[in-house]
Structure 1
């Protein structure tokens, strides 16, 4: 029955798995006793099912009970006790209790090193667990150091094509991805992908995970066609292999929707997310973390379309559910509160937006640290709220802090650093400080061209911003040259009727009007009558 429960768990049939595992556990308690190793293993297995279901309180309760019994019965340094510590640390990680998670994982790791050796598989697994805790906190350099150590040890111990090595390389690639080192990340992922296809098969879950991760890199590089092609492949494979209602299938469909969102294909994205949401509610429950994430993403689609009431209704549900399920201070709860603030900000309800963002920022600083990505994102949103109210000095002060932190933590040419510099430039624009704004925007544009390429969406946005700076200084020829360049690239990349293409047409028409070129302006304006409520730049 325990093996069947494990099968159900792997199939995402968690209710059936829980029912069977509970039966097995009750039998073991009666037959073997509450402290028997087999009973403890059954409790740990049930805790894993609770983790899958997002029932972290129940998982923590069971795993704590297991750990305490193992300490008493087997000793603090027994491998089974240390495994229990590592499992409990991962539950703390999922709950956003990173200090508790880190403390436990380090304790387990130190004991593994002493008792089993630095290169024992359990030790290396514990190092990977600690790296994942650092990764979740945005401490990517610390995560990378551990991942590189594990990878080198695995190569010596297991050989270059062992599955554990492939998963380790994948983890390192994800760290590079978060650091904006996309080419290095892509090279590693392609290497792992080819090995997984040969070793495991094209439709193996690990192979599909690598394909999904590779798609994420393509998304950040603006290579949406390549990303979409990969994610469609993942979705189709998951549907055949796992079924349309399996959690992994639902996640892959939601990822595909995110590509449509990036391309402003709102209807396609909305259709997919509504479909996934309904299934997720039935399959996982209305308060499961994955269900709430889908609701959050659907709300973002409504926000970009200016459908404020629908967005607010969804986000209030998400915030309330996450407060109960995860706690007020959990990173996911804070993110949904910040998204709710963005609705208030977009509607000019700045006091409400500011109140929420200040609350989120203070919690992020205490909970995550001043240099965590979520903290910096919240600071950026608060700065934008100040900017919208004409509170330039407060906005500038925050943006300068963000730039300094990003430069130290990520590097001067990381996309997030460049985006924060561009935001500061926009503050200078609002104040008519054109020379300062131009200097910053030129810096950003050159870095984006070098880092991402001329036709990357972020590069094009920077060109649009610089053209606007030129226009506001009546440097029409320079503005027109940039706008024409953006228009041609967007026509090729997105199509003539895409909102981003139409937006740059409107900007170019404005440039023509200011030069008295009325006919050319009128021709362009005729093509831009149907702009979205929040057009991409």
Structure 2
């Protein structure tokens, strides 16, 4: 090595890493005879396999995985005869997804699955081999993160089915359970929230039985279960799970560990869903800076936390800060994913909602309309995420005075929400609130009163009396009673709603001030990530 360094053919850094000049590499390869080249490649495969730390989910190993990655294709690891060398490839697919290099994970996953599926009689390979199925599972995750939803779901379903029927693995094997946990998000993206919940409930039960409550994979599976509960508006149930996850991670990792930060970001989403906006904002302000430092500002998990921050800022009434945060998040998400990805569409709608409350209604309409059109293309007319976007656009239209179009949109949205999610889902309650607003503005005061009263009762049962959206329902129900000449009863209810908003949002909050002036409350929707 000293001779190589003296002639400028290699560099050795203080950590004893060797870097050989590319020209010298090429000359050396050309000079080697076939047998010597074969032995050299095999030696390289063994070296890389020995260097592989495995456990790509552990951020302590990311530095080594980063060093291994550039060698995979030049060394031909995908086609290696060394089994442990192929595991380097498998771990790299997952590592790339975890650090946010989604396209790199997809490309490597595609290459590995395509090559390994063609092998016959080689342990771990072939269409039903362990490495092939696990690589396909990781590939499906990357595809979903990139927005290739149909292919991701199909791939994931095939992997889970093959693991379950395999005599080598079966339904309770850890690889099968991981595949089941990976399929549930694909179902949620498809709008199949209850099917995803049932799958995750079964997966959690199996993890607990096989690995115990304190195993890392069990904790992760329970976090996935909480995602389903959020999508079904059971924020209290999700909060209970995520609070346990935060506590569990706090016992074993540092305060800036990505697993703990991920759990805390989930907890902030629960707090938002529970109407505890100030608490959600405080948690995000404390945890988002180290999250960005650990993973980078463009990492998918960091971007999702940034959206929750923008929403929380708006809900506590800090509209200018919220607008800046929502604009930045919208720009970063479209740059990261493209305009039709679920997360980019959610960012665009969050931005439109924020523009609406800051007063630029024509711009809010433009952005909300564009987002709704893209939701319809990506998810269809009846998907809950599309319906949430329609609900938000109708608020803008009503604010602009386009009452007829707002009513048509709200009436259709409310009916579809009720059919898809049930009458007491949070999305449906928002749609009901807004349709009652249409009825009131059209002079159909008794119909508005009846719907507002029903919505208030359901909101109390589903959200609780202290939720700001329940307080908004109280305000609207009081205004509707006054409109049908039940003045004393209505004024008492209106005063109660104003007091509840002042308690939860603050006396000077714009929504509290609006209710005090007798203005009807609107109910926008900010869906949690699937």
TM range (shorter): 0.7 to 0.9
Equivalent of residue 206 in structure 1, options 218, 230, 251: 218
How far does residue 481 in structure 1 lie from its aligned partner after superposition? 4.1
Match of 1:315 in 2: 326
- Pairwise mapping of residues 267-282 of structure 1 onto structure 2 (< 5 A)? 269-282=280-293
- Pairwise mapping of residues 181-330 of structure 1 onto structure 2 (< 5 A)? 199-201=212-214, 206-207=218-219, 210=222, 234-258=245-269, 261=272, 269-330=280-341
Which blocks of at least 5 consecutive residues in structure 1 are unaligned?
A: 152-163, 169-191, 512-533
Q: CA contact under 8 A between 2:110 and 2:139: conserved in structure 1?
A: yes
CA distance in 2, matches of 1:23, 1:388: 55
CA distance in 1, matches of 2:167, 2:97: 28
Match of 2:190 in 1: 137
Match of 1:360 in 2: 371
Corresponding position: 1:22 with 2:34 = no
Equivalent of residue 443 in structure 1, options 445, 454, 457: 454
The alpha-carbon distance between structure 1 residues 434 and 4, as it changes in their structure 2 partners (threshold 3 A), is farther
How far does residue 327 in structure 1 lie from its aligned partner after superposition? 2.0
Match of 1:524 in 2: none
How far does residue 104 in structure 1 lie from its aligned partner after superposition? 2.3
Instruction: Count the aligned residue pairs.
Output: 463
The alpha-carbon distance between structure 1 residues 458 and 9, as it changes in their structure 2 partners (threshold 3 A), is same
The alpha-carbon distance between structure 1 residues 124 and 259, as it changes in their structure 2 partners (threshold 3 A), is closer
CA distance in 2, matches of 1:72, 1:112: 18
Q: CA contact under 8 A between 1:480 and 1:508: conserved in structure 2?
A: no
Q: Kindly provide the CA deviation profile for residues 228-259 of structure 1, in whole angstroms up to 9, marking residues without a partner as x.
A: 78766644542341111111221233344446
Greater Cα offset, 411-420 or 211-220: 211-220
Match of 1:166 in 2: 205
Match of 1:499 in 2: 505
Corresponding position: 1:47 with 2:93 = yes
Superposed CA RMSD in Å reads: 4.1
Q: Kindly provide the CA deviation profile for residues 491-511 of structure 1, in whole angstroms up to 9, marking residues without a partner as x.
A: xxx9x8543678899799779
Corresponding position: 1:85 with 2:96 = no
- Pairwise mapping of residues 139-158 of structure 1 onto structure 2 (< 5 A)? 139-143=192-196, 151=202
The alpha-carbon distance between structure 1 residues 8 and 144, as it changes in their structure 2 partners (threshold 3 A), is closer
CA distance in 1, matches of 2:439, 2:69: 62
How far does residue 131 in structure 1 lie from its aligned partner after superposition? 3.9
Corresponding position: 1:96 with 2:107 = no
CA distance in 1, matches of 2:318, 2:63: 39
How far does residue 135 in structure 1 lie from its aligned partner after superposition? 1.9
Q: Aligned with 2:119: secondary structure?
A: helix
Match of 1:520 in 2: none
Q: CA contact under 8 A between 2:197 and 2:228: conserved in structure 1?
A: no
Which blocks of at least 5 consecutive residues in structure 2 are unaligned?
A: 1-47, 121-125, 524-530
Could you say which structure has the greater relative contact order, defined with CA pairs below 8 angstroms and 6 or more residues apart? Answer: 2
CA distance in 2, matches of 1:322, 1:343: 16
Q: Kindly provide the CA deviation profile for residues 331-373 of structure 1, in whole angstroms up to 9, marking residues without a partner as x.
A: 1011111111112212332221122112111111111122222
Q: Which has the larger radius of gyration?
A: 2
How far does residue 386 in structure 1 lie from its aligned partner after superposition? 0.5
Q: CA contact under 8 A between 1:5 and 1:18: conserved in structure 2?
A: yes
How far does residue 467 in structure 1 lie from its aligned partner after superposition? 0.8
Equivalent of residue 377 in structure 1, options 388, 411, 414: 388
How far does residue 55 in structure 1 lie from its aligned partner after superposition? 1.1
Greater Cα offset, 390-399 or 138-147: 138-147
CA distance in 1, matches of 2:372, 2:158: 31
Q: If each structure's helix is expressed as a fraction of its own residues, which one has the higher value?
A: 1
CA distance in 2, matches of 1:3, 1:104: 31
How far does residue 51 in structure 1 lie from its aligned partner after superposition? 1.0
CA distance in 2, matches of 1:126, 1:228: 25
The alpha-carbon distance between structure 1 residues 487 and 348, as it changes in their structure 2 partners (threshold 3 A), is closer
CA distance in 2, matches of 1:308, 1:165: 40
The alpha-carbon distance between structure 1 residues 363 and 36, as it changes in their structure 2 partners (threshold 3 A), is farther
Equivalent of residue 431 in structure 2, options 416, 420, 424: 420
Q: Aligned with 1:291: secondary structure?
A: helix
How far does residue 423 in structure 1 lie from its aligned partner after superposition? 1.1
Equivalent of residue 480 in structure 2, options 439, 458, 469: 469
